[in-house]
Structure 1
């Protein structure tokens, strides 16, 4: 019989496979019960694309248990690499770290070992067991007097204990959840193979009730473990996205904003005509990733550093801003601004993007955290971009959304004229031109709905945009400003300067949104992919241009928030001066944070949140979770 030495030098009888003790604290003398793995456990995210045979890959037991609680959660974490956290996850992690502060604990003749690592190539599973309890008689039977556990064929009990933050489900008499039972049973099966002795039961400790629930490892439960492992491997191999559970399990889930279960179910049933006219709509989603808290830095020579958890901005040693980093979602810089290395690292760690613009508002670049690890989604994006037929289905929605929202802006102006509201006194000529533009936009929408070609859609969009901008000047009630037509590079008048600036800001927000959901902003489905151009962000903003950017320009002009003297002519182009730029940014931020009713789900949500939702629906359409992408069109 082979003898395996533990960390203290004591010899233990060999069982079916060796167990080795490793020092868990770097020389403190405390050891941890930790089997030596035969193969290195790694995530099976690559599925059939993996270089190794799938059978050699080990699945985490916690992930297999999650499959029984919510298959969609399993898919997102194991296939797409989702790692979102919320307060429930953080509390659970804190409790786990607190438990693991002591690697070993002896009490009342029972020794507890924390964070015990076990694995099995035959079961295809690996686990880190919260606690393994060993009875005091174990050492006496094995002849080990060192106090450290060892491999043994003794009949003494080895009991796995799994800790859970919550409580048993109501109405079950305190019985553990099925997924929790499967998790503890799988851990027991791993221990059995590792130690060569039966593990007849384990415990689930629910912190919510401070009670243990005993789980017996019955043949039926063992069979359920193997069924769950087989189903997990099937999902990994096929990349099939499970349907949303869309019930109470979704409340408090850290992946809710990625999954959007109620919206996904509602949109799918809406496409199939299964939604009654008065069916309940999804509940209002939680706040998005970006709450619209923008730090604007436009003072020449500004210097940005961090002190602890705060950002400090100074100009010539004078402090001009001092804000908590946690209260900043986005940083916009204009002109020459310097950042210290620690300040940049602090922003990157917290996912705060920095958009760097020139003094006249032209985008120069971004400081951003690394891309999402969801290569599968980006692969689908690339495949869609290379298919003319698929591109046309997305492009059609982008164009239809833009044209319909342009029509909406013009119709609002016509209603003002018809009702005789203040500022709506125009002669019949401009009003008639607006009506003709509306009619032309309606014809272009009909043409876009029939189109199956991206080049044709470009022509349709161009025709509709020309008609819209031909009457855009008629929407201005401030006679100090005029609009000769759309001119971009460079903007030849103040109104064009504000339009270009607003579209730049909107593109930056869209770029952040598509990156947040794991898409590549530089691979477009409608706009041509040109080096350095965020084509997908430009795709996404088409339906938002009239609703956000154009409305902001009309608002600041008609409300006389800016004057012609607030612009400067530089090299043949007009640009906002510093003070006017701040005023415009405030108006833009206010518009992005304005709450409106979502046309499909009928809950109140901000334009900023709508932009993120549209990016998520775009990703879901690419992944096949939704039958098609539906553009945002307000009523």
Structure 2
């Protein structure tokens, strides 16, 4: 056999499944093993189902010198200290003096032989058995969809492929830069991590591809939705695969757990330990708000294991030059979208404001300091909110007059709506940051301080006008809300319980609305776009993109 050419050995045992992923796509292996990313799709769910019987440990696995007769073991976990790999073997068939592994695959095999990635995987399993003292020179791959069993002989070619995959995995484990995505590959179309990888998008933005046909390889909308509990005294508990909502012992609602993206608890709404534990198991965050909608904090499962990404985030946040580069893009996107809102809703009456905002955008490219950027943003905000009233129907001027922004507490209905809408938006971007593995509290433009989700506030800038402000204009102009939906107390103004329900429904409609992405050309919901933009920030931090491009609409 070929002499082993392994590079320096890492203390970490590499799962054999990752060698399969590496041979299939190095970027996929990096995301799953280094970043800790994984998303199910119909292919992975079906694969799990096919493996249910073989994953359960069954049958004895005697030592090499105790083999006798024909035997079979399932779900056998073994490792190789020489090759630094570990595997849970689906099936090990045994004879009097030899063994051979059988790997179960849910898909179809090629017309001849087996897929290269599967050959590496079965080769690794053979090597593990050999290193544990068993006589093993062949293995089998069973492709369920085509009902075909393929024999793989362990020869020099298979060993070379195995060593190449192990060295490759050790290489990506010890490098900071993520491997580049595949170009125009059919492999991406069935990959569950396409929504995370963004292969076509990253290739386009990094100028590795000039193909204008960007594939949207994930659902345009997320099927999961937030569960909002604002009924005071309500109690969320677990009942099988359902969550039940009760108040004073009476059931007032129920929802299937898999349909929930995150849970929002307002004021005195409560949750059982069992329900909270189930949410942690599924990595579904729980977010806490005051009765009036102030975002107080969150509970989340153990944070994404990609500490390298968070190290890069903290490194860039302390680099004033790179932080300024990112911040300029955030604010440029915000001002452009402010112009879009004014142009859509009061074009003829807002020409002066539109011109001034246009000049503000041009100033940003020449800015050299963060204080100058704060000044441009502040002036643009004054111009924008100075024209905000003109976006509302003239007949509603008395009920919803707006003379300027005020907060903590808001004093008018429009300011109350803006504050609540911004709170909802920062909540959604905090959830997106947690899911990706970024620290929502460490930002680049907004300074970090106790309890402040600075990163969420940063990304929020470009979405404030087209999501939060748009929802406010919609509920006012469409008369979804009236002044009867507000409570005035001690100079402060807040929405009533019924008013908040109407507003949350309008907000969810907005972020579920599909829009054409101006760069990638496909249609996806605003919620998907917020997640995509957060991922583009992470790619910039990891050095995969030279600059961050904000989301803007026409």
TM-score normalised to structure 1 length: 0.80
Task: Say whether the 8 Å CA contact 2:102–2:139 is kept in structure 1.
Answer: yes
Distance 2:518 2:280 in 1: 35
Shift of 1:411: 1.2
Deviations 1:189-227 (A, max 9, x none): 232233264x33221111112221111222122122222
Q: Find out whether 1:510 has 2:429 as its counterpart.
A: yes
Aligned partner of 1:161 in structure 2 is 102
Q: Assess, with a 3 A threshold, how the Cα gap between structure 1 residues 224 and 354 changes in structure 2: closer, same or farther.
A: closer
Larger relative contact order (Cα-Cα within 8 Å, sequence gap ≥ 6): 2
- 2:4 maps to none
**Could you tell me which of 365, 372, 382 is aligned with 1:466?**
382
Query: CA 1:224 to 1:347, structure 2 compared with 1: closer, same or farther past 3 Å?
Result: closer
Specify which of 187, 190, 194 is matched with residue 249 of structure 1: 187
Q: Does 1:286 align with 2:241?
A: no
Does the 8 A contact of 2:176 with 2:542 survive in 1? no
CA contact (8 A) 1:483 1:495 kept: yes
CA distance change for structure 1 residues 114 and 562 in 2, over 3 Å: closer, same or farther? closer
Does the CA-based 8 Å contact 1:129-1:161 persist in structure 2? yes
Residue aligning to 2:483:
564
What's 1:442 paired with? 358
Secondary structure (helix, strand or coil) at the match of 1:583 reads helix
Contact 2:220/2:525, CA 8 A, preserved across alignment: no
Query: How big is the shift at 1:576?
Result: 0.9
2:525 matched to which residue of 1?
A: 606
8 Å contact kept, 2:297–2:451: no
Structure-2 residue corresponding to 1:185: 123
- Find the counterpart in structure 2 of residue 544 from structure 1: 463
Corresponding position of 1:275: 210
Give the aligned length: 538
User: Following TM superposition, by how much is the alpha carbon of 1:102 offset from its aligned partner in structure 2, in angstroms?
Assistant: 6.2
- Higher-Rg member (1/2): 1
TM-score relative to the length of structure 2: 0.91
Instruction: State which of 73, 77, 99 in structure 2 corresponds to 1:117.
Output: 77
SS of the aligned residue for 1:366 comes to: strand
Aligned match for 1:208, one of 130, 139, 145: 145
Per the TM alignment, residue 363 of structure 1 is displaced from its structure 2 partner at its CA by 2.2
Give CA deviations for 1:304-328 in whole Å, capped at 9, x if unaligned. 2222222222222332222222233
Cα distance in 1 for partners of 2:283, 2:79 equals 35
Per the TM alignment, residue 484 of structure 1 is displaced from its structure 2 partner at its CA by: 0.7
Query: How does 1:381-392 map onto structure 2 within 5 Å?
Result: 381-392=313-324
Per the TM alignment, residue 366 of structure 1 is displaced from its structure 2 partner at its CA by 2.4
* Secondary structure at the counterpart of residue 324 of structure 2: helix
1:368 alignment counterpart: 300
Q: CA deviation at 1:409?
A: 0.8
2:325 to 393, 409, 424: 393
Deviates more, 1:77-86 or 1:382-391: 77-86
C-alpha distance 306-185 of structure 1, shift in aligned 2 (>3 A): closer
Structure 1 residue aligned with 2:3:
none
> Which residue of 265, 276, 290 maps to 2:203?
265
Other-structure match for 1:340: 272
Aligned to 2:64: none
5+ residue gaps, structure 1, are 1-46, 48-52, 139-155, 418-430
Indicate yes or no: 2:114 matched with 1:176.
Answer: yes
Partner of 1:486, secondary structure, is coil
Matches within 5 A, 1:467-482: 467-477=383-393, 478-479=396-397, 480-482=399-401
Q: CA RMSD in A?
A: 2.3
Contact 1:205 / 1:211 at 8 angstroms: preserved in 2?
Answer: yes
CA distance in 1 between counterparts of 2:15 and 2:269 reads: 46
Residue 195 of structure 1 aligns to a residue whose secondary structure is coil
CA 192–295 in structure 1, closer or farther in 2 if over 3 Å, else same: closer
Report the counterpart of residue 232 of structure 2 in structure 1. 300
2:49 corresponds in structure 1 to 94
Q: Write out per-residue CA displacement over residues 132-178 of structure 1, whole angstroms, 9 at most, x where no aligned residue.
A: 2222xx2xxxxxxxxxxxxxxxxx44322222111213xxx331011
- Residue pair 1:292, 1:593 contacting (<8 A) in 2 also: no
Alpha-carbon deviations, 1:456-501, whole Å to 9, x = none? Answer: 2111111111110111112111223211111122212111111111
Residue 56 of structure 1 and its aligned partner are, at CA, apart by 4.2
